[in-house]
Amino acid sequence: MRGLSVDIGYRDNNNPSLRIAVDIGGTFTDGVAVMGDQGRIWVGKTLTTPDDPGAAVSTVISDLLREVGETLGDQAPRLAEVVHGTTLVTNTLIERKGVPTALVTTTGMRDALDIGREWRYDLYDLDLQLPEPLIKEDKRIEVAERLSAGGEVLTPLEQEELDRVVREVKRLGVQSVAVSFLHSYLNDAHERAVAAYLAKELPDVAVSISSELASEIKEYERTSTVAASAYVKPLVADYLNQLQSRIDKAQPDVPLRIMVSSGGFTAADAAAQTPIFLLESGPAAGVLSAINTAANHGVDRLLAFDMGGTTAKACVVTDFKAPVAYSFECARVHRFKRGSGLPILIPSVDLIEIGAGGGSIAHVNRMGLLNVGPESAGSVPGPACYGLGGKDITITDADLMLGYLDSANFLGGKMTLRLDLMEEAMKNLAGQLNMSPTEVAWGVHDMVNENMASAARIHIAEKGHDPRDFTMVATGGAGPVHAVEVARKLRIPRVLATIAAGAGSCLGMLAAPARADRSWSQPTLLSDVDWAAVTERLASLREEAMQELSEAGAKAQDIEWLIGAEMRYYGQGDNVPISIPYSDLRDGGYERMLQAFEAQYIALSGHLVPGALPQVLTWRLTGQSHTSARRFQWGTSRSDTQAHRGQREIYLPLKGQFGTVDVYERYALPAGTRLTGPLILEERESTIVVPVAADVEILADLTVSITLKEFE
């Protein structure tokens, strides 16, 4: 096994600590408490509270602290830290519910958000819809300032312009301001001057500058990024302040750490200052959980599959390293069409949305055919079977009709699913389609699986891999329900479901490192790079990043530093990302960068370009604390029930009919147990459905290994 080391030791038995991770999903809010290096865990789950997301977080934290106290009594450790992932930023951008925001930009650049990239994401769609800018034209302020393409000042920023900006912001009555000047990635003096003056004159107005978020070329993308961050900044700051207050009520002086899209965590204050970095925090944590499981079992080629209540996402991982991309799209007009969303320049785990979630609604489209999503019932009103007012059939309802879920044992019996409401809603949909309810239920389930498999197949192929060489690791409440069928369609031979898979994102947060990223663009031929200047700037950024990491609780000696760059041959349009260990580049920097670039170029293209000149466009610096694979065990016994729960009729896809299978209580099965599918393994937070022939084994850390034997 390469990459991560396995760390299961308990370093300090006399001073155990308790950490809690909480993830807000579209339907459920999950939480996991872990005690010290023993990896003893307790899991909490409650319905998400959309009107006040922090309420569900508080409920989960309180429930977990109570469970730990009931288990350990006077020996219960003090809460040392809360790590949190949230969909607040994503949902706010999708729903366009941010605060009134203004944009301050260079004269002549006010229309950049409307012009965009001037290309169509669908050439043949005559009714093409482009994403609406978050900041309308009447809230954009032009400033007479100008830098050259080399960063020199052409038009100075005068005091009268600063005063005019303040007057305009007052007149607009906005709560937040985004500042994005031309070429500020080379010289941010003007952006910082505007930010400082606004902070002085209008202290109640939040200010965001593009050079602090994405000091990179691409004016439209950089402006879109700072606009999105400013649009949500006051909301995120208020939310984190309220959440910290709620945590203080449970136990004072507990630091709050926030998961970021790059697969690490940062301090709450840093997250509030740059909230756009939280955009993909939950899904990123799901990937880390999958990597952690794979590392414990020596699996270095995996497809992380995370399916929750609203969406399903996938990520291709090799050598135990989460791939990170530096551009991203959010709030797409068409969910699965690249180019239909708002571009965001942030480091983010490179995953894709491949399908719907358990709460996604099935409906009849305008052609009279069955379709699923993208609309979701969420937690309010929820699927029809929840009995909370939902009238529409969702994937969860279909799974219930197919026998994959137990109406009396959902969430370990804490929530009873309403079969009568599900059947009534299913009959209504079946009547519209002139199909039987069973046909509709299987149609919903199979359509979703096929869509996810198709999207994952393309994603894997784009990375240059064959799915048959991979192992799937399933997380999320709905992930283990659908994983085997998706893997079968992809011909992936093996599926792993980690302990507490239904709260997998939380386990990923508990295994996540502290991380900080910095970047700046300075297009230069590699042969013309000023290595002394680059080394000096990297050192300055490292010092700045280390301060952020320290606030997140990391120690300097535990940080691994990497130098990255976006490179290409001069004149090309696509960039090649490279990465090397941090060092002083004044000695051998050219040779090391060239070697890394050529190796990566050959890996991607198969050959070099004779006579072409390598060019660096953007420099990157990443600092990340050391990570070790974690092994988890239950804090309280979950094996105090009978292992064999009986039998149940479930739909068997390869037979096209219902059949009787054995149902087991997952955690009543000891390590080493071997079973043969088809079967059902139930746990409180999820259900593992094996509807085809397969070898099922409970591994030493209670991970379930499913080796498929039947593909057709």
Instruction: For residue 691, give the nearest of 665, 668, 669, 659 by alpha carbon.
Output: 659
Q: Which CATH class is domain 515-626?
A: alpha beta
Degrees to nearest 5, angle at CA 284 with 278 and 289: 140
Strand partners of residue 545:
none
Strand order across the beta sheet in which 694-698 lies:
352-356, 311-318, 301-307, 471-475, 494-497, 704-708, 694-698, 674-676
- What is the predicted pLDDT for the residue at 16? 65
- What is the predicted pLDDT for the residue at 14? 41
Residue 7 has pLDDT above 50, yes or no: no
- What is the predicted pLDDT for the residue at 17? 83
Residue of 6 and 36 predicted with greater confidence = 36
**pLDDT tens digit sequence for 68-99:** 988 888 888 889 999 998 878 887 888 888 99
Residue 119 has pLDDT above 90, yes or no: no
- Separation CA 394–CA 441 (nearest Å): 9
- Name the one residue in this structure whose structure tokens are 């990157």: 620
Q: Which of 9-13, 278-282, 680-684 has the highest mean pLDDT?
A: 680-684
DSSP state letter for 148: -
Structure tokens at 273: 């200052």
Structure tokens at 84: 């949190």
Structure tokens at 532: 């002394």
The answer for residues whose C-beta is within 8 angstroms of residue 64's C-beta and 6 or more apart is 20, 31, 32, 33, 42, 44
Is residue 575 within 8 Å of 556, Cβ to Cβ?
no
Low-confidence winner among 3-17, 463-477, 585-599 (lowest mean pLDDT): 3-17
Is residue 188 within 8 Å of 153, Cβ to Cβ?
no
Is residue 613 within 8 Å of 527, Cβ to Cβ?
yes
Low-confidence winner among 75-79, 174-178, 195-199, 236-240 (lowest mean pLDDT): 75-79
- Separation CA 301–CA 695 (nearest Å): 20
**pLDDT tens digit sequence for 543-588:** 999 998 998 888 899 899 999 999 999 999 889 999 999 999 999 9
The answer for residues whose C-beta is within 8 angstroms of residue 63's C-beta and 6 or more apart is 31, 44, 46
Is residue 585 within 8 Å of 334, Cβ to Cβ?
no
Residues belonging to the chain? 712
Instruction: For residue 336, give the nearest of 455, 486, 489, 450 by alpha carbon.
Output: 455
Q: Taking residues 183-209, what's their average pLDDT?
A: 95
- What is the predicted pLDDT for the residue at 193? 97
The domain ranges of the chain are: 515-626, 638-708
Residue 29 has pLDDT above 70, yes or no: yes
DSSP H or E segment with residue 420? helix 419-433
- Separation CA 302–CA 288 (nearest Å): 12
Name the average pLDDT for the chain.
Answer: 89
Residue 167 has pLDDT above 60, yes or no: yes
- Separation CA 590–CA 607 (nearest Å): 20
Give me the percent of the chain exceeding a pLDDT of 70.
Answer: 97
Strand partners of residue 153:
147
**pLDDT tens digit sequence for 413-462:** 778 899 999 999 999 999 999 999 999 999 999 999 998 999 899 889 88
**pLDDT tens digit sequence for 584-618:** 999 999 999 999 999 999 988 889 999 999 999 99
- What is the predicted pLDDT for the residue at 91? 79
Question: Which amino acid is residue 428, in one-letter code?
Answer: N
- What is the predicted pLDDT for the residue at 9? 30
Is residue 376 within 8 Å of 356, Cβ to Cβ?
yes
DSSP state letter for 415: B
- Separation CA 350–CA 322 (nearest Å): 8
DSSP state letter for 39: T
- What is the predicted pLDDT for the residue at 590? 96
- 3-state SS, residue 158: coil
Residue 118 has pLDDT above 60, yes or no: yes
Residue of 428 and 636 predicted with greater confidence = 428
- 3-state SS, residue 666: helix
**pLDDT tens digit sequence for 372-417:** 877 777 777 888 998 888 888 999 999 999 999 998 888 777 788 9
Residue 27 has pLDDT above 70, yes or no: yes
- What is the predicted pLDDT for the residue at 10? 29
Beta strand segments in 169-300, E:
176-180, 206-209, 256-259, 265-267
- Separation CA 219–CA 226 (nearest Å): 11
Is residue 280 within 8 Å of 261, Cβ to Cβ?
yes
Structure tokens at 628: 């070790």
Instruction: For residue 144, give the nearest of 111, 174, 110 by alpha carbon.
Output: 110
Q: Taking residues 518-542, what's their average pLDDT?
A: 95
Q: Taking residues 15-24, what's their average pLDDT?
A: 83
